[in-house]
Structure 1
Amino acid sequence: MIEQKQSLDQLPKEIKAAFMELNILKHLNGAGFKKKFGFTCAYLFRIIFTLLFHQKNWFRLLESVKQESFPGKDAVYRFLNHGGYAWRRFLLSLSSDTVQRVERLTSERRETAFIFDDSMFERNRSKAVEMLARFRDHATGAYYKGFRMLTMGWSDGHSFIPMDFALLSSLNSGINGMTEGMDKRTHGYKRRQEALCSCQKKIKSKTRKNKVLD
């Protein structure tokens, strides 16, 4: 008999307590991460999360001695590329719960704020990445291939908790387009449409309307 372990044994000891304290698996279920057959979403998420602490990618892990105890790469890629999973809902649910836990440990007089950051996400060696685009780094003036990453986080002056992020592409300088045949009702399609949305055009249109009304 082959036993499929669904416990937290693959997590490092230092991370296992935090994993259970923050109820990460509960937030996954609340965001609709479910599968009808095969390895569960919770099991696949724990393995991918652990790779960050082993400093290995999935390809190197499958070449190791313990490759037979891990699921195939197709199962992992299907999980990561599934357009029906609400990753944004999961992150917002987890981060908001974490913020409430942190606020109990600090004074009510401490000022809190939301921080927005627009930075580069370089993929200069990539060629076939979906929605890959070409951008200009305004700090150095050089061009790079990749995305613009817009990040929103909560901070109390000492702690920083990421709340949401978006990888932004470009219609004008795009290298690769969107994957064809994607269901337009899924979360993945909406995130891709968001990546191509030009916020500057929206701001300009709103200012023009306000001038007309004035």
Structure 2
Amino acid sequence: MAEEVKLFGARGSPFSCRVEIALNIKGVQYEFVEEDLFNKSPLLLKYNPVHKKIPVLLHNGKPIAESAVIIEYIDETWEGAPILPEDPYERAMARFWTKFIDEKCMAAAWKACWSKDEQDKAMEEASELLRALENELKDKKFFGGDRIGLVDIAADFIGFWLRLIQEITGAKLLTKEKFPKLCDWIDEFLSCNAVKESLPPRELLLAFLQARVFPSSAPSISPSK
């Protein structure tokens, strides 16, 4: 009997893309169910009644929500290249940096690029957070070492979305001069097949971002996690 694997997501969401990267790393066949984030389907609300957000992975009728939780589930459920380290300390550190990206970096980078008020202060705060990631990379190819791991996947917003946002807004937050290691990491990250197969088309993402721009204030990150 074939497995049922469905991903309820949105092509423009970095959180949704994270799950696709993990599924592709493991070679899992899945059906992508595109959600309208402004008119969520009854199935999405049924499968994630607590947060009512994408992404949601449906595996043989059982729903799993929250991108970081889903990625760990994928890693533990399917064979293939490991996403989390085997060593307990390294696993804890991977979770730490993933939480750091989710709770600190993404919102700060978004604000720095879009904010019209106190932008210098926002850029300084975001740069400090990106500096912590730059230092964590050290001389590694990926945050996970020689291959993509949990932290790399969690940083997909920095690896793909942030560059496009900077292009739209003219912000100069993440540059080769300021963050050479992060920029080298981005090049390596985007060259991986599992990543390239998961990323939304540039034109689609551009429309996705522009749809969330409000004249009076910076837009909020898409309602997903």
TM-score, with normalisation over the residues of structure 1?
Answer: 0.24
More strand by proportion, 1 or 2?
1
Q: Which has the higher contact order (CA 8 A, sep 6+)?
A: 2
- Of the two, which has the highest radius of gyration? 1
